[in-house]
Amino acid sequence: MSVSTQKKLEMLRTMLLARRFEETLTALCQQPDKIRGMMILATGQEAVGSGVCAALSPEDLILTNHRSHHHLLARGADPKALMAEIFGRRTGCNKGKSGTLHMAVPEVNALCTTTVVGGGLPIAAGMGFAQQYRQQDAVTVCFFGDGSTSEGSFHESLNLAGLWRLPVIYVCENNGYAAAQGYDEHTPIESLAARADAYGMPGERVDGNDAPAVFEATRRARERALAGEGPTLIECMTYRWRGHGEGDKQLYQPAEEIAAWKKRCPIDRLSAALCGAGELSAAELADMRSSATEIVTEAVRFAEESPWPEPEEALDDVWAA
Ligand SMILES: Cc1ncc(C[n+]2csc(CCOP(=O)(O)OP(=O)(O)O)c2C)c(N)n1
């Protein structure tokens, strides 16, 4: 089945937004005291969030990790509420208490960001079990990095999901690194998708810089899950353009490797394909870019003008009765 022009444009729009959002964060992090704490970005990996989320329905659940901005934006989270949260302000999606690393956006069914590497995987199995038990027509997507597949939780989660045929889509964002460790330094096999076989589910490796390919793989996995056929593991091959966090100088990533991957920019690829097919004009692309810039500029203004949380609010919403 071919991907409609409308879907491709939707993916391009969310990728442009995520890119602009994160480029702005990169610049803000260089200014003293603008944003506190660690900043972890997924610049260059936008096709994963955009491609996966474009294939989902509003009822589906997502669970993300420390590199979450592109997932949340593609899922439709409000950029102003995300930016304010990243700034630690009271108007943020979690009232300024989660910061960039632990954002939850229940309005778009993005229920949890966990930065415990591999920590989302068992939760995803639980969420998938709840959907199955309640006979819901919905799936759970769990995003995680290649490094997470070396955690015990990866194997436990996939084993149970395979056994119980849970409606979970496991999306491994293989960006070639787990912090400063290259893929070959933490995993002895060539393809992570191959691990799916051990848990009785299909494993598919896709070009993670090709948003329509990611979309198609997710659509297939979703159909399988809704038909009661169980989970799928999708390995999206992509690359981390920046360091693990913004303080990381990337001394272990060869410059020519970074340059080669930048030539495979997911945004340039999709926009060139759309323009080449006459589905998008240069002027429309320019409009899409400036609209992304406007949204992000407005989000930063909103965040900067928002109040800080009051100290007395520190324990509000922390405990659920
Ligand atoms: C259980 C656990 N161990 C170690 C860390 C420190 N840590 C944070 S991110 C990260 C690398 C994760 O790599 P990967 O899963 O490939 O995701 P990526 O950062 O490449 O997106 C590490 C080791 C952590 N947060 N949690």
| Percent of the residues in the chain that have a pLDDT greater than 70, as a whole number | 100
Stated as kind and residue range, the H or E segment containing 63 is strand 61-64
Ligand 1 geometric centre to CA of 115 (Å): 7
User: What span, in angstroms and rounded, lies between the C-alpha atoms of 313 and 173?
Assistant: 36
Q: How confident is the model at residue 188 (pLDDT cuts 50, 70, 90)?
A: very high
Q: How confident is the model at residue 4 (pLDDT cuts 50, 70, 90)?
A: very high
For a pocket test of ligand 1, which of 40, 114, 117, 181 has the largest count of ligand atoms closer than 8 A to its C-beta? 117
Return the pLDDT at 1: 74
Q: How many CB atoms lie within 10 A of CB 79?
A: 22
Q: Is the pLDDT of residue 165 over 90?
A: yes
Question: How far is Cα of residue 155 from the mean position of the Cα atoms in its chain?
Answer: 21
Instruction: Enumerate the H helices of 75-176 as residue ranges.
Output: 79-86, 120-133, 152-164
To the nearest whole number, what is the mean pLDDT of the chain?
97
Which string of b and e fits 174-204 if b means at least 16 CB within 10 Å?
A: bbbbbeebeeeeebeeeebbebbeebebbbb
Each residue's pLDDT tens digit, 206-256: 999 999 999 999 999 999 999 999 999 999 999 999 999 999 999 999 999
Q: Do β-strands 181-182 and 61-64 pair in parallel, antiparallel, or remain unpaired?
A: unpaired
User: What span, in angstroms and rounded, lies between the C-alpha atoms of 305 and 64?
Assistant: 28
Return the pLDDT at 31: 94
Structure tokens at 100: 């960039």
User: What span, in angstroms and rounded, lies between the C-alpha atoms of 180 and 248?
Assistant: 9
Q: How confident is the model at residue 258 (pLDDT cuts 50, 70, 90)?
A: very high
Minimal-distance CA residue to ligand 1 atom 17? 145
Return the pLDDT at 320: 74
Domain ranges of the chain: 5-304
Structure tokens at 156: 């436990």
Half-sphere exposure (CA, 13 Å, Cβ side) for 193?
Answer: 15
Ligand 1 geometric centre to CA of 183 (Å): 13
User: What span, in angstroms and rounded, lies between the C-alpha atoms of 115 and 280?
Assistant: 38
Going by C-alpha positions, the residue among 146, 160, 156 that lies closest to residue 194 is 146
User: What span, in angstroms and rounded, lies between the C-alpha atoms of 33 and 13?
Assistant: 31
Q: How confident is the model at residue 156 (pLDDT cuts 50, 70, 90)?
A: very high
User: How many Å is the maximal CA-CA distance in the chain?
Assistant: 57
- The separation between the first and the last C-alpha atoms of the chain, rounded to the nearest angstrom, is 47
Q: Name the β-bridge partners of 140.
A: 61, 168
Instruction: Enumerate the H helices of the chain as residue ranges.
Output: 5-29, 46-54, 69-74, 79-86, 120-133, 152-164, 183-186, 211-226, 255-262, 266-276, 282-305
Return the pLDDT at 187: 96
Q: How confident is the model at residue 36 (pLDDT cuts 50, 70, 90)?
A: confident
Is residue 179 within 6 Å of ligand 1 at its C-beta?
yes
Architecture of domain 5-304: 3-Layer(aba) Sandwich (3.40)
Three-class DSSP labels, 78-94: CHHHHHHHHCCCCCCCC
| Percent of the residues in the chain that have a pLDDT greater than 90, as a whole number | 95
Q: Is the pLDDT of residue 291 over 80?
A: yes
Each residue's pLDDT tens digit, 123-132: 999 999 999 9
Q: Is the pLDDT of residue 97 over 80?
A: yes
Q: What is the mean pLDDT of residues 121-141?
A: 98
105 secondary structure, DSSP code: B
Minimal-distance CA residue to ligand 1 atom 19? 178
Q: What is the mean pLDDT of residues 47-67?
A: 98
Minimal-distance CA residue to ligand 1 atom 8? 117
Q: Is the pLDDT of residue 33 over 90?
A: no
From the alpha carbon of 148, which atom of ligand 1 is closest?
A: 15
Ligand 1 geometric centre to CA of 180 (Å): 10
Q: What phi and psi values does residue 249 have, to the nearest 5 degrees?
A: -85, 0
Q: What is the mean pLDDT of residues 117-121?
A: 97
Return the pLDDT at 116: 97
Going by C-alpha positions, the residue among 59, 75, 202, 63 that lies closest to residue 134 is 59
Half-sphere exposure (CA, 13 Å, Cβ side) for 74?
Answer: 35
User: What span, in angstroms and rounded, lies between the C-alpha atoms of 215 and 211?
Assistant: 6
Q: Is the pLDDT of residue 319 over 90?
A: no
